Amino acid sequence: MDEVEKVFNRFDTNGDGKISESELGAVLSSLGTAFADEGELRRIMAELDSDNDGFISLPEFVAFCRSGSEDG
């Protein structure tokens, strides 16, 4: 299991293989990330959820992490 998958599993608190908006918000809050409003969380969710099914799958999460690492 690589590091990206380990991080994904930390976000996927119920172990269903996908990250919901509430799971994303809970983990980010536990890391000390505060949002100005729920709109910010929805924006992040929309950015990662490329197939618009309301969840972030492992392939979507991996693609997002890889695209971020190419930026710099």
pLDDT reading at 71 higher than 60: no
Residue 52 structural domain: 3-70
Residue 62's domain is classified under what CATH number? Answer: 1.10.238.10
Express each pLDDT in 33-54 by its tens digit: 766 568 888 998 999 999 999 9
Q: How many domains does the chain have?
A: 1
d(Cα 34, Cα 41) in Å, to the nearest integer?
A: 10
Q: How far apart are CA 21 and CA 41, in angstroms?
A: 7
Residue 18: closest CA among 70, 53, 66:
53
Instruction: Give CA angle at 68 (43, 49), nearest 5°.
Output: 35
